Amino acid sequence: MRRRAILGYGAAGVGAVALMLFVGWWQVDGPGGAEPVGQRPVALTEMDFRLTDHEGNAVGPETLIGRPTMAFFGFTYCPDVCPTTLSDISGWLDDLGDEADEMNVVFITVDPERDTVETVAEYVGYFHPGIRGWTGPEEQIARVADGFRATYERVPTESGDYTMNHTASVFLFAASGRFVTMIDYHEPREFAVPKIRRALAEEMEGAT
C-alpha cells in the first residue's frame, strides 16, 4: 500500500514537472513567447523598399497594409527548407479555408541573381495559389530583410556554385502593419494555425 502511494506521488511529481516544462517552453520558445526586442521586425508602416511580384507588379510595404500578412524569405534553388516551409504554409492556408483569402502571403527571395520574376512565378506555382512571389534588386532585398530583421548570406559550394543561408521562420503581421509573431521552422500545425488566426483577429490600429 505504501509502495503504491509512493509510486502515485512519483507519477504526480513527474507530471507536474512535465507541465512546468511545457508552460516554460510555451512562454519562452513556444507560441506564447515574445521575440527579443532587438530582433523584432519593425512595423510595415516604417519600412521602405521596392520589389516586383511574380506577375510583374511593383510592390512595397504599402501593398501589405490593410490585410494581415504572412511572409517567408527563401530562394528557388533551396533544396529543403523552402519547399518544406511553403508546403507547410499551403497546408495552413487550406486549414484556414475562406479565412485565407483575407491574408497577404508572400515569398521573398534572398537570391535575386537567379530568382527572376519568371523563375519566381514558376516556383510559387507549385504551391497554394494564394502565395505571391517577390523579387528585386539586391539592395532592395537587403532593405526588406533589414526591416524584417531577417538574415541571409551567400555560401560557396564545393561544385563552384553557391547556396544561401537564411532565416527560416515565417513572419506574421496584423492588418495595421504591426508585427504579431513568428512561426518557427517545422513548428507543429496545431501551434502554427492559431498564431495565424491571432494575426487575422488583430484589428487595424485606430479602427472603431
What tens digit of pLDDT does each residue of 179-188 get?
Answer: 999 999 999 9
Q: Are residues 23 and 65 in the same domain?
A: no
Q: Are residues 47 and 138 in the same domain?
A: yes
For 6-63, what is each residue's pLDDT tens digit? 445 444 444 544 444 444 444 433 444 444 445 799 999 999 999 999 999 999 999 9
For 49-106, what is each residue's pLDDT tens digit? 999 999 999 999 999 999 999 999 999 999 999 999 999 999 999 999 999 999 999 9
* Per-residue pLDDT at 24: 40
What's the domain count of the chain? 2
Q: Are residues 20 and 56 in the same domain?
A: no
How does residue 202 score in pLDDT terms, banded at 50, 70 and 90? Answer: confident
* 78 appears as a binding residue in the annotation: yes
* 186 appears as a binding residue in the annotation: no
* Per-residue pLDDT at 76: 98
Q: Are residues 153 and 198 in the same domain?
A: yes
Q: Are residues 28 and 104 in the same domain?
A: no
Q: Are residues 190 and 125 in the same domain?
A: yes
Three-state secondary structure readout of the chain: CHHHHHHHHHHHHHHHHHHHHHHHHHHHCCCCCCCCHHHCCCCHHHCCCCEEECCCCEECHHHHCCCCEEEEEECCCCCCHHHHHHHHHHHHHHHHHHHHHHCEEEEEECCCCCCCHHHHHHHHCCCCCCEEEEECCHHHHHHHHHHHCCCEEEEECCCCCEEEEECCCEEEECCCCCEEEEECCCCCHHHHHHHHHHHHHCCCCCCC
Q: Are residues 6 and 96 in the same domain?
A: no
> Which domain range does residue 137 map to?
38-207
For 150-159, what is each residue's pLDDT tens digit? 999 999 999 9
Q: Are residues 162 and 193 in the same domain?
A: yes
Q: Are residues 7 and 101 in the same domain?
A: no
For 100-131, what is each residue's pLDDT tens digit? 999 999 999 999 999 999 999 999 999 999 99
Q: Are residues 149 and 64 in the same domain?
A: yes
Q: Are residues 178 and 152 in the same domain?
A: yes
**For residue 68, what is the domain's CATH number?**
3.40.30.10
Q: Are residues 24 and 96 in the same domain?
A: no
* 54 appears as a binding residue in the annotation: no
